[in-house]
Amino acid sequence: MNILHTLAQSFQYDTYGNDAYYYTNSGSVDAATAAAAFAGLMVFTLILAAISYVVYALLLSFIFKKAGVAQWIAWVPFYNTWKVFELGGQHGALSLMLYLPIVQIVGIVFLFIAMYNIGLKLGKSGAFVLLAIFLPIVWLVWLAFDKSTWDKKAGAPSITPAA
């Protein structure tokens, strides 16, 4: 359809006998429908976020178990990231940079360094960090379920006491 035909369909003839055309908004969505759609989208987003967090914490708890860290820490928001930094040889306070605008770029770099060291401690090569950067869920699954053991002498020394 061309644009003129589409525009012509959006106008209707005035039924009161006037020769003027007026715009009808017959295809609009009422406020209740829009609010219901928005509420549905929010519920879906919250459910997806909860599922993602449960999967992340579960996989992280397996990695913490290999490192000799209490598994419950993986389920505590913010504190689990603090421990990931410490296991990777970074100071845990650097994890706070992940929650500050602009500075979070620096925090992400330190997180990648920590992930690199965690990979080394679990017997992976240095290139394994690319998986952590581009496919972090695959990185977590791989480290959580492979047969590797924690080698505290590999990589940077952990700040968290590990087995």
CB 79 within 8 A of CB 48: no
* Mean pLDDT along residues 34-42: 91
Check whether 75 has a pLDDT greater than 70: yes
* Mean pLDDT along residues 21-25: 54
Element (H, E) at 41: helix 31-67
Burial label for 69, CB within 10 Å (0-12, 13-18, 19+), is buried
Got the DSSP string for 12-24? EE-TTS-S-EEE-
Question: DSSP class of residue 158?
Answer: P
Q: What is the pLDDT of residues 120-137, one digit of tens each?
A: 999 888 888 898 899 999
CB 20 within 8 A of CB 12: no
Q: Tell me, what amino acid is at 112?
A: F
19 band by pLDDT with thresholds 50, 70 and 90: low
Instruction: Enter the pTM of the model.
Output: 0.72
Question: DSSP class of residue 30?
Answer: -
Check whether 77 has a pLDDT greater than 70: yes
* Mean pLDDT along residues 59-80: 93
Going by C-beta distance under 8 Å and a sequence separation of 6 or more, which residues neighbour residue 154?
120, 121, 123
Domain boundaries, the chain: 31-145
156 band by pLDDT with thresholds 50, 70 and 90: low
9 band by pLDDT with thresholds 50, 70 and 90: low
Phi first, then psi, for residue 149 (nearest 5°) are -120, 160
Model pLDDT, residue 128: 86
- Residue tagged 């715009």 (tokens): 23
**% pLDDT > 90, the chain:** 52
Model pLDDT, residue 163: 47
28 band by pLDDT with thresholds 50, 70 and 90: low
